[in-house]
Amino acid sequence: AAELEYESVLCVKSDVNVYRIPPRTSNRGYRASDWKLDHPDWTGRLRVTSKGKTAYIKLEDKVSGELFAQAPIDQYPGIAVETVTDSSRYFVIRIQDGTGRSAFIGIGFTDRGDAFDFNVSLQDHFKWVKQETEISKESQEADTRPKLDLGFKEGQTIKLNIGNMMTKKGGVAKPRVSGSGGLSLLPPPPGGKIAAPPVPPPSSTAIANHVTPPPVLKSSIMSGADILLDLDAPASASKAPASATTDLWGDFSTASSAVPNQAPQQSSWVQF
């Protein structure tokens, strides 16, 4: 896996100074003012590269590119790269050779912007390393958890009811009726009945011209005839002389008396 990893360049600075630093006598940190800043021990080019999760600070010759020293970094901030207490342009790095020996040297940049770029390149790399570690840890935890079986079992079905789509029997779903104001009104249920519109009440003229007569009893045949005559006769006939009304009913009585042998009427007939 290490052979398949490729090396990427994170930062390149063409001017860096290297200093021999005295051993640290206390835990208060390094001070750049204790170094001989006007007389650097070596001057060259600095490259910051990464291979996998490890970053490397490489000090190379400006012309030939020959490697002068290399400092592998596993974490930042850490013991491999430390800042000084009195300046932001100087750092202390731990260099290592192929035999496992290590030493601490000081490096410094003439431009403060170069020191800022060097610091940010290391921070971005190890921020990425932290994210990759968290993602791999979450994926491992997800693999150990029991997986949910969300598939359909044998014979299990699901039914979807979507508006304006063909139903299972081949019918077409009824579209929704849009009412005023942009609101959708649902159609009436299939088993419901629509009430018929109410019948308007009859006008007063129709009530005056048509009145249903009350039932006629046998004991009051003649009085019932008078009531029917008064109800069915128009307004003009009610003003006719009483003699005409008497003659009309007299004809009916004469005609009935002219037949002496007529059989008696049934109780359901009315005699006029």
Q: Is the confidence at residue 76, as pLDDT, over 70?
A: yes
Q: The whole model's pTM is what?
A: 0.51
- Which has more pLDDT, 158 or 210? 158
- Which has more pLDDT, 238 or 166? 166
Instruction: Report pLDDT digits (tens) over 164-211.
Output: 665 444 555 555 555 555 555 666 666 555 555 666 655 555 455 555
Distance from C-alpha of 262 to C-alpha of 35, rounded to nearest angstrom: 160
Q: Is the confidence at residue 249, as pLDDT, over 70?
A: no
| Dihedral sign, Cα of residue 22, residue 24, residue 28, residue 29 | positive
Question: In this prediction, what percent of the chain has a pLDDT beyond 70?
Answer: 57
Q: What is the pLDDT of residue 244?
A: 45
Q: Give strand pairing partners of 94.
A: 104
CATH architecture of the domain covering 7-135: Roll (2.30)
| Dihedral sign, Cα of residue 140, residue 142, residue 146, residue 151 | negative
- Which has more pLDDT, 6 or 17? 17
| Dihedral sign, Cα of residue 49, residue 54, residue 57, residue 62 | negative
Range picked from 24-38, 158-172, 217-231, 242-256 for highest mean pLDDT: 24-38
* Domain boundaries along the sequence of the chain: 7-135
pLDDT band (50, 70, 90) for residue 43? very high
Q: What is the pLDDT of residue 263?
A: 47
Burial 62-93 (b: 16+ CB within 10 A, else e): eeeeeeebbbebeebeeebbbbbeeeebbbbb
- Which has more pLDDT, 241 or 69? 69
Distance from C-alpha of 238 to C-alpha of 83, rounded to nearest angstrom: 130
Q: What is the pLDDT of residue 138?
A: 82
Instruction: Report pLDDT digits (tens) over 16-30.
Output: 999 999 887 777 888
Q: Is the confidence at residue 71, as pLDDT, over 80?
A: yes
- Which has more pLDDT, 267 or 44? 44
Instruction: Report pLDDT digits (tens) over 85-140.
Output: 889 999 999 999 878 789 999 999 999 999 999 999 999 999 999 998 888 888 77
Here the tokens at position 252 are 């009916």
Q: What is the pLDDT of residue 149?
A: 73
